[in-house]
Amino acid sequence: MIALTIAQLAHAVSGEAFLAGDDTPDTVVSGAVDTDSRLIAAGGIFVAKPGEATDGHLFVDAAVAAGAAVAIVERRVVASITQIVVEDAVAALADLARAVVKTVRDAGDLRVVGITGSNGKTTTKNLLARILEGEGETVAPKASFNNEVGAPLTMLRVTATTRFLVSEFGASAPGAIARLAGLVDPDVGVVLMVGMAHAGGFGGIEGTFHAKSELVKALRPGGVAVLNADDARVAAMAPIAGEHGASVRWFGRGPEAEVRADDVVVTASGTSFTVTADGESVPLRLKVLGEHHVMNALAAIAAATTLGVSLADAVARLETVEIAERWRMQPLGSDRVRIINDAYNASPDSMAAALRTLAQITAPEERTVAVLGAMSELGEYSEEEHDRVGLLAVRLGIQRIVVVGDGARRMYLEAVAQGSWDNEAVFFSTADEAFDYLQGELRDGDRVLVKSSNSAGLRFLGDRLGESFS
C-alpha cells in the first residue's frame, strides 16, 4: 500500500485511532493490508473482519506477532497495537481502497480496467495482466479476488509507480458490481458474457444482465466499454454505455467486431487463430486449452489496445501464457493419460465449453472421459441445468461419464435416460469412490476432463488423478 500516516488512515476509513507504543498521528504506515492474520507481514495493516465461522478480532494478537503495525477493528481488543475503530470493517476496507486508488490516480498515470461476466473473468484478467506487465507495473487479483473483500485487497496493492490496475468484479446479488466498480471508476470496462452462472442470486438471466451492466454504468466519463459482440445481452449494453458518456469497443468472432478471430484451429496443445484489430492481422498460438478461451484472449487484446498496447506486443505476450490459472483447464497427467483439471468453477456455459473442448481435442483412437460434479448458485434452475449437462455429454459422444456427488446426480440420471445404459455413465457419492474407480478404469489414450464448481471439491480429485497418471 502507499504510505499514509495513521491520521490519514483513520480519516480514510472514518474511524477513531487509539495509539499504542510510540505511535503518533503522524506515524507512517505502508505495509500490505490483509484480513488474514497468517498473511500479515512486518508493517502490515490487519483488518479484523467478522466472519460466518470465526471473528477476525480473535486474531489481532496473531497479527501483532506477525509484525502488524495497525489493526482496523470494530471494537477495541486487548493487544499491543494501534487500533482504528470503525463501524464496519468490510466497509472500511472498501473506503480505504477508494482513497488509495484516488490518491495514486490523482498523482500519476494510473489506468484502471474492470472485468466482469458470467464466465471467463479470471482467465481474461490473467491474460490482460500478462500483456500489461510488459508496459509497466501492473496490479491484478490473485486467484479470483473479485468480491467485497478480495477486490479492495487487490486495489490496495497499488503503489505510486503502478501504471495499471486490473480489477475482477464478481457478484452474487444485484448492486455488488456497482459498489465495487464505484470504488475505482474504471477507464475501461470489459463485459465478457451474460450466462446462467449465479442466476439463482439474480432471479434469472435478465437479472444477471442488469447486474453485469452495472460495470458499464460505473465507467468514468470518456471511458471505454469493451463488449462481446457475439452475446446479444452484452451487445445490448452499448446504449447504456452511451448514456453514461462511454464509447464502445467490440470484440468477437463475427466480421462486425473491431477485434476478432479468424481461422480458429483447436488442438490438444492449444488454439491457433488470426487476430484482426483495427485492420491489422497477426497470427496467435494460445497455449491455454479450449476454444472458448479465444473470446477471453480477444477481450484482453481489445482492452490492451484500448490502453495503447500494440497488437503485435499483445499477441507476443499472450503466447507466453502456459495455463490460465491452476485448476482452470490445467493439463496434468502424461501423454499416456491426459488429465484436464477445470474444477475451480463451473456454470452451465463453462461446463458446456469444457465438454466441447474435451470432444474437440480427443483423437479418434483416444477415449473421452468426463468426471463431473455439481454446479452451484443456480437456485431454481439447478435441476434443469444439471439435466442439460448430462444430455450434452451424451450428445457429444463422451465415452465415459463419471458423476460425483449427490448434488450432481441428475447429470447421471439424464445421461442414463438419454442412452448411456452400458456403464458409459456411472455415479459415486464421494470423490474417494470415484478415484478408486478411475484408478482401475483409465487406460492409455484416455483424455479426462474433471469439471465442477469449487464447492464440489473435484479440483483435488483432479490433482490426485494428475499425480497418479503422471
Of 181, 13, 15, 185, nearest to 102 by C-alpha is: 185
C-alpha cell at 247: 464509447
Question: What sign for the dihedral angle of Cα 222, 227, 229, 232?
Answer: negative
DSSP, residue by residue, 218-238 = TSPTT-EEEEETT-HHHHTTH
Does 102 belong to an annotated binding site? no
User: Is 159 annotated as belonging to a binding site?
Assistant: no
Q: Is 389 in contact with 358 (CB distance < 8 Å)?
A: no
Q: Specify whether the CB–CB gap between 246 and 222 falls below 8 A.
A: yes
CA distance 31 to 47: 12
Which residues are paired to 4 by β-bridges?
Answer: 29
The closest of 462, 444, 428 to 345, measured between CA atoms, is 462
Question: Is 212 known to sit in a ligand binding site?
Answer: no
Distance between CA atoms of residues 246 and 331, nearest Å: 39
Q: Which long-range contacts (CB under 8 A, 24 or more apart) does 71-80 make?
A: 71/45, 71/46, 71/47, 72/13, 72/15, 72/45, 72/46, 72/47, 72/48, 72/96, 73/48, 74/48, 74/50, 76/18, 77/48, 80/20, 80/21
- Asked if 137 and 163 count as a contact pair (C-beta separation under 8 A), the reply is yes
Strands 164-168 and 138-139: parallel
429 is in an annotated binding site: no
What cell was used for 468?
497418479
Interatomic CA distance for residues 296 and 277, integer angstroms: 15
Q: Which 8-state DSSP code applies to residue 278?
A: T
DSSP characters over 350-380: HHHHHHHHHHHHS-TTSEEEEEE-PPPS-GG
373 annotated as belonging to a binding site for a ligand: no
What lies within 8 Å, CB to CB, of 248 at 6+ separation is 224, 225, 226, 227, 238, 241, 242
Does the annotation place 121 within a ligand binding site?
A: yes
Runs of H (alpha helix) within 424-457: 431-441
User: Does the annotation place 117 within a ligand binding site?
Assistant: yes
**3-class DSSP state for residue 89?**
helix
Question: Do strands 446-451 and 224-228 pair parallel, antiparallel, or not at all (unpaired)?
Answer: unpaired
Q: Is 306 helix (H, G, I), strand (E, B) or coil?
A: helix
Known binding-site residues equal 117-123
Known binding-site residues for ATP equal 117-123
